[in-house]
Structure 1
Amino acid sequence: MLIGYARVSTDDQNLDLQRDALKSVGCERIFEDTMSGANADRVGLAELMNVLRVGDTVVVWRLDRLGRSLKNLIQLVDCLETAKVGLRSLQENIDTNSSGGRLVFHLFGALAEFEHNLVRERTQAGLVAARARGRMGGRPKRLNPTKRALALKLHHERNHTIEEICKMMDISKSTLYNYLDKADSDVTGIA
């Protein structure tokens, strides 16, 4: 059975073009979502996945209507393949029921993994280069070492409340508690 899936990103967009295309190729049912693809809770897609049976084919107008990203699309296709369900994209003219369609998807997957590895390698190389120049990364400390020591001293003297210390230092309670925890772990030798 051909089962359609259509999605638009916003309420002001219209599903008519996708509906018409899916009906014209013979989709017996069409599931729809009207929300961003970045939203993981797509009710229409979840319903679609629940009704699929072996031998069904999911039909989409374009691949970007199904997956939030290439990685997500490949994961969905893997789920469909495991369930022995095909995928057909009308605009890209891809059908995973054919050996050529499966090949295209395996190439997409390999390219996505390659790109992910390149990004990771460049990120690691950049971090190594920054460390070699003395930059450690991360968010800068809210207080310089002198003010941090003063905040700790004020806390240990017990003459001021946490709120008063935070107000004097212009920091949040969580920042002060982080400094206190760090000072305690440095004293006890726990890293």
Structure 2
Amino acid sequence: MRLFGYARVSTSQQSLDIQIKALKSAGVKPSRIFSDKASGNTQNRKGLELLQMKVEEGDVILVKKLDRLGRDTADMISLIKTFDDIGVAIKFLDDGISTEGEMGKMIVTILSAVAQAERQRILERTNEGRIEARLKGVKFGRKRSIDRKQVHNLYKADIGATEISRKYSQINRL
């Protein structure tokens, strides 16, 4: 039996350090830790693909948290089935559960469904808050650094786009 580890964060600004440290503490060799810095929504997860190619029957994959492995319930079930078909178990460190045995698979399936529902509820609440803020006049996004009226006036005065761009590039550098 060999131990492997998988870690994932959603954005490049987030750090994998906590997950990797936990995997190492659980006994996974650094050379057997695979990771991705990509949203769970993306299909393109090279670290997970490499992990799938490396593991063999009898191996165990450690993952810090349930939501770090699959994108949603269907993806989680598919991954568990894929690994189970080749005789590889998955253990979730924080949750203290494993896919070993039928009860473990059932618990993981239920928990991933609950996690997916919670993610959906968070998105709904975030969107509701954004809509309410807009109704109250809150503006989102970066403030404009260029006055549109000035640009329009320069254009009307037959100054070309390149010259306008140069002019504003110099102003923004100050």
- Place the TM-score, normalised by the shorter chain, in its bin: 0.5 to 0.7
Residue 89 of structure 1 contacts residue 95 of structure 1 at CA under 8 Å; is this kept in 2?
A: yes
Q: Give the alignment's TM-score, normalised by structure 2.
A: 0.60
Q: Which sections of structure 1, spanning at least 5 residues, go unmatched?
A: 21-29, 172-191
What is the identity, as a one-letter code, of the residue corresponding to 1:89?
K
- What are the equivalent positions in structure 2 for 1:42-191 lying under 5 Å apart? 42=47, 46-52=49-55, 56-60=57-61, 62-64=62-64, 70-74=66-70, 75=75, 78-82=78-82, 84-85=85-86, 86-89=88-91, 94-143=97-146, 147-159=147-159, 161-167=163-169, 170=172
Residue 89 of structure 2 contacts residue 100 of structure 2 at CA under 8 Å; is this kept in 1?
A: yes
Residue 96 of structure 1 contacts residue 102 of structure 1 at CA under 8 Å; is this kept in 2?
A: yes
Deviations 1:42-65 (A, max 9, x none): 3xx544412556xx34413x421x
The 3 A distance-change label for structure 1 pair 90 and 133 is closer
Deviations 1:41-92 (A, max 9, x none): 43xx544412556xx34413x421xxxx633413466224145244242856
- Name the CA distance, whole Å, in 2 between partners of 1:118 and 1:100: 27
Residue aligned with 1:142, SS: coil
RMSD: 3.9
Q: Give the alignment's TM-score, normalised by structure 1.
A: 0.56
Residue 80 of structure 2 contacts residue 99 of structure 2 at CA under 8 Å; is this kept in 1?
A: no
Query: Could you tell me which of 18, 27, 33 is aligned with 1:18?
Result: 27
Greater RCO between the two (CA within 8 Å, min separation 6)?
A: 2
- Name the CA distance, whole Å, in 2 between partners of 1:19 and 1:133: 51
Residue 59 of structure 1 contacts residue 88 of structure 1 at CA under 8 Å; is this kept in 2?
A: yes
Q: Identity over the aligned pairs, expressed in percent?
A: 17
Q: How many pairs does the alignment contain?
A: 147
Residue aligned with 1:89, SS: strand
Higher Rg of the two aligned structures? 1
